[in-house]
Structure 1
Amino acid sequence: MNNCGMEPAQKDRTPFSDIDALSGQMSEIVLDALTEMGRHPEIQRVRQVAFETLRPAAGQRLLDAGSGSGEVARMLAARVGGTGEVLAVDHSSAVTAAAISRHDGSNVRYSTGDVAALGMPDEHVDGVWCERVLQHVDDADRTIGELVRVTRSGGRICLIDTDWGSLAFDGMPAGLGAVVMAHVSGHFTPKQHDMGRTLRRRLVAAGLRDVTATPVTCLFASPASAAVVLPMVNPRVPVEAWATPPGLRDEWLACVDAAGQSGTFLAVLTIWVVAGTKG
């Protein structure tokens, strides 16, 4: 193992936290990653659980808070139909532009904004979808409070987020994986690494009722499958984006590739789907 003991020059936030501040190359990589993740069968499985939990219905006005490239907003629009609408809000102007460019004519309104300060009236929407956003915000409870504020009484709030503390690998040297994760934590994964498992507590504290929590364990049986969701096994992520000492990235990726070639690679990650009803 090549561990020279250097401290990584980590960023305070992951690239997904502020896409507009990235270089052109990194912005393109992140935008492509968002699209690829949305198509991944394991992410689609998580979203199916969330759709069943949110229960969107015809005629509703729904908020997609942190809407990314808009694929979920468009799926929600299909559920609410022509008499409903979906408000798709994302922090990134680049991502919002990408969402608008992919619009399919459904009843979605895209805008750039802060999900912690939406500028909407109280009780403005019938339900909220917020997927893998809270792990990146500065104050999750404040953001949840804003989502509750704009939701009508009786409306549903569905939060989907990752428990990065659940991430585990098999097929590679355990010690090497631990060293790599120590360097990329807070860089490829957010500092709020346990957000998913905290969502139930946060919704209860926010006063929601009938709170449900469903852990969905995503399984990745090959490096190619895992690389769509896990940047630390993706060889397309440029060297300069890594926060590891020289040589450690290449050593790790070589082990990942070897495990894939031998059929012994495995990665698992739990994403939580948590929802409640505003009283």
Structure 2
Amino acid sequence: MTREVPERTPFATIDDMPPPMQAMIFDALERMAADPQMRRVRAAAQRALDPRPGQRLLDAGCGVGEVARDLAAAVAPGGQVVGVDASAAAIAVATGRAGDARVTYAVGDLLSLDFEDQTFDGVRAERVLQHMGEPDAGVAELVRVTRAGGRVCLVDTDWLSLASDGLPDDLVSRMWQGAMVARQHQPTMGRTLRRRLVRAGLVDVVCEPVPLWFTDPDDASTVIPLFNRSIPREAGFIPEELWDPWWAAVDRAADAGELLAVVTIWVAAGVRP
């Protein structure tokens, strides 16, 4: 069966959304940054990127800039962090919250970065490639702007690892296919990161799976959109015919203390020779 791939995922259309929807997405990104499980993912990515004082780093797909701000401390003194995102609205928020001269932000296209070859000592991209129709071209561009000896770190979700307990199997299967997998260009991106770095010519490539697990739907909502009640029904993220059965099943499982949701995010990194 051929999977129908969307032309553009929701994160590629943020600037086309009304301000309340943008605010909801930016709030979700900041809640995610504070989530203990996502902090484990980002700690693994920090180890893989291995930032050092005095380095110049790029955070490609920086969103509202929370990681770029954290990286600024790691490159002090004398370093600089540049955050790039396709969304002008996200960059406006990030710029307003920068508060550190070592961090700058710019609107940019991951497929055509406005930097010279070998500009950065380290480059990272988190949960960006899954939204791209040409992810290998994006990886090649990240490698292009990384200096020889510099590191490229990729972080992405493997949505096909998504699993649950306490919910009806048939309902879960329909939701996974109808709402999650169908809305991603690359639903298995996480597991492919190592291969993509190897094919891009990087050496000393390492990878690490970071499993995330949730027993509360509100906690799960920070990472797994299927549990996010703030996404309006009319947005169509959850198929209309599944809306009521889904939330009824989630509430039953949560009330019984039986809910479990699990997903794996992968971290991979390599060195440009």
> TM-score over 0.5 for the alignment?
yes
Correspondence list, 1:93-242, <5 A: 93-186=88-181, 189-242=183-236
2:247 pairs, out of 247, 253, 258, with 253
CA contact (8 A) 1:214 1:273 kept: yes
Structure 1 position 232, deviation (Å):
1.1
Letter in structure 1 aligned against 2:261: A
Match of 2:269 among 272, 275, 278: 275
Q: Is the 8 A contact 1:10 1:243 kept in 2?
A: no
Residue in 1 that maps onto 2:41: 46
CA distance in 2, matches of 1:232, 1:128: 30
Q: Match for residue 5 of structure 1? A: none
CA distance in structure 2 between the partners assigned to 1:33 and 1:194 by the alignment: 22
Query: Is the CA contact (8 Å cut-off) linking 2:180 and 2:226 kept in structure 1?
Result: no
| RMSD, aligned CA | 1.6
Structure 1 position 247, deviation (Å): 4.0
1:193 and 1:10 map into 2 onto residues whose CA distance is 10
Change (3 A) 1:246 1:203: closer
Amino acid in the other structure paired with 1:202: R
* TM-score normalised according to structure 2 size: 0.95
Aligned mates of 2:82, 2:238 — CA distance in 1: 40
Q: Distance in 2 between matches of 1:14 and 1:211?
A: 29
State the match for 1:6 in structure 2. Answer: none
1:250 shift after superposition: 1.5
The alpha-carbon deviation at position 245 of structure 1 amounts to 4.6
1:245-266 C-alpha deviation (Å, 9 max, x unpaired): 5341121011111111111000
TM-score between both structures, scaled by the size of structure 1 = 0.93
Is the CA contact 1:169–1:267 (under 8 Å) kept in the aligned structure 2? yes
Q: Residue 262 of structure 2: SS of its match in structure 1?
A: strand
Opposite residue 148 of structure 1, the aligned amino acid is: V
The residue identity in structure 2 corresponding to 1:212 is V
Aligned length: 270
